[in-house]
Amino acid sequence: MTSLTALSASELARGIRDRRFSSSEVVEAHILRLEAVDPQLNAVAVPLYAQARRDAAAADAALRSGAVSGPLHGVPMTIKEQFLMAGTATTFGLAREAGHRAKADGPLIRRLREAGAIFLAKTNVAQLLFYVESDNPVYGRTNNPWDLTRTCGGSTGGEAALIAAQASPLGIGGDIGGSIREPAHFCGIAGFKPTSGRLTNLDTRGGIFPAGQGAILAQPGPMARTVEDLDLAMKILAAPGLERIDPSLAPVPWHDPATIEVSRLRIAVDDDDGYFSASPAIRRVVVAAADALRRAGAKVEPWTPPDVAEAMRLFFGILTADALDSLRRALGSDPPEPQLELYLKACALSAEDRATTVGELRAAGQVHIAALIAAVGARSAESYWRLVEDQGRYRARFLEQLDRGRFDAIISPPAALPALRHGDTAALPDYDSYARVFNVLGFPAGVVAAGRVRPGEESDRAPTRDGVLIRAREVELGSAGLPVGVQVAARPWRDDVVLAVMAVLEEHFKQQPDFPLAGR
């Protein structure tokens, strides 16, 4: 018999409604699983077990009386620590905020409760949600269930670790630079970032971490072990009426991915963005994804995105235009984690010192760090708006290139590397160009689990002087067995196309012998 914790959220919802098992049984099984795995993972930030048991008992009583609250009736799930939930802390990993308690649920959390979800825990994050690890002074470091010496990613890493370990069937994270998709890739699960502006950021506590820097918006989104569950969650989160709560949102209706005929799509394949080459295993699964889509009837062609170096300049320039003063204020007396220090020091350079440093780094062959330091730092209002104009021009170029190929979707690596070792993000600021380009563009994008690194294909990087690429090779060595994913993106508001393509790829990859199943 399949364990209750191995079932998807959709399977659990159907089983509870059909009375094959109770919500109390499901919740208890997940609490036991959390207690078994979390000593090794350290992914739970705020346990909510007592309340979850009470909510499960109430869900079972309601069902006995014939009442079903919604499509997640009695189903347990977890959420990222950044989201506002009544009576719980939202600290962003800041020790000085450890006493914070939210007065009320945010609108997305309310929607999930109204749909019948039961919250098991809030999960660990990066300090100030700023880097691709989940490690902070409040809750400590979260480990990857595939290899405890590796990170689960961030800033939504706690979610990814627990879902991969079958301790939670469904989670909600946030993504401003890959923070849903990269943990999904690192941990072998599925994750989805909607079109920018699709979901509200009112669930994120204001005054600590901005939900975006004007032209680059964070987006909440679901994480799960199946694409079906991502779709289920989005039908709840993106249901009509959210724009009445948050007038900044466009009232664009949610379209059912089941109506998309993948055989009629034209799909671009980007296995090398020309900025940061991906590891052999990641390239392999992208090529395998292309072959699977061809067999499904889609027209699939190789494609290279325009000038990803420009996209990275825009990403770092826009997000650090205030010289990270907002993050410095949020830190207060808290010391920054090492993963933050490079950015804080780079942003503090004077214009003269920045130019000198960039020149010296380029002369020494340190191309990637030089590009980062050249991009970040304080800007005048005029300079900032020039960046925003450049972002609009870049988006137009990107769409024009898609139009030339008449492409409906893109498949690519989620990032250039598999799961990093703990602390590596301090020396690898831009290995995730594949994810971040879609934050600059505001396109919907998701990641589906695809396979695992095989022995003998860990790395094929050429010798180099560039310290970032040297560290990338070090990450690749010893990576055999780690999960890898494939990213799918589409044009704005075609979230349905992304999920439809992801579903086809998931169906293909789950038949393969190396499909990631960490919890089993």
Residue 299 catalytic? no
Buried b / exposed e over 315-350, threshold 16 CB at 10 Å, is bbbbbbbbbbebbeebbeebebbebbebbbebbebe
Task: Give the integer Cα–Cα distance in Å for 438 and 308.
Answer: 11
Which among 8, 23, 24, 179 is annotated as catalytic? 179
The closest of 158, 178, 167, 253 to 221, measured between CA atoms, is 178
Please give the DSSP secondary-structure letter assigned to residue 200: -
- Whether 80 is catalytic is yes
Tokens 């999904």 belong to which residue?
184
- The span from the CA of 425 to the CA of 248, in Å, is 33
Q: Are 419 and 133 in contact (CB under 8 A)?
A: no
User: How far is residue 379's CA from residue 393's CA, in Å, rounded to a whole number?
Assistant: 19
Q: Name the amino acid, one letter, at 401.
A: Q
How do beta strands 147-151 and 143-144 pair?
Answer: antiparallel
Is 333 known to be catalytic?
A: no
- CA–CA gap between residue 231 and residue 236 (Å, rounded): 9
Catalytic residue among 10, 155, 196, 279: 155
Q: How far is CA 68 from the centre of its chain?
A: 31
Residues 23, 80, 193, 277: which is the catalytic one?
Answer: 80
Distance, in Å, from the CA atom of 312 to the CA atom of 89, rounded to the nearest integer, reads: 33
> Rounded distance, CA 12 to CA 15, Å?
5
Cα(158)–Cα(153) distance, integer angstroms = 8
Cα atoms found within 13 Å of the Cα of residue 336, Cβ hemisphere only:
18
d(CA 72, CA 9): 8
Print the SS3 string covering 95-135. HHHCCCCECCCCHHHHHHHHCCCEEEEEECCCHHHCCCCCE
464: phi then psi, degrees, rounded to nearest 5: -155, 160
367-375 and 351-363 helices, crossing angle to 10°: 160
**Which positions are annotated as active-site residues?**
80, 155, 179
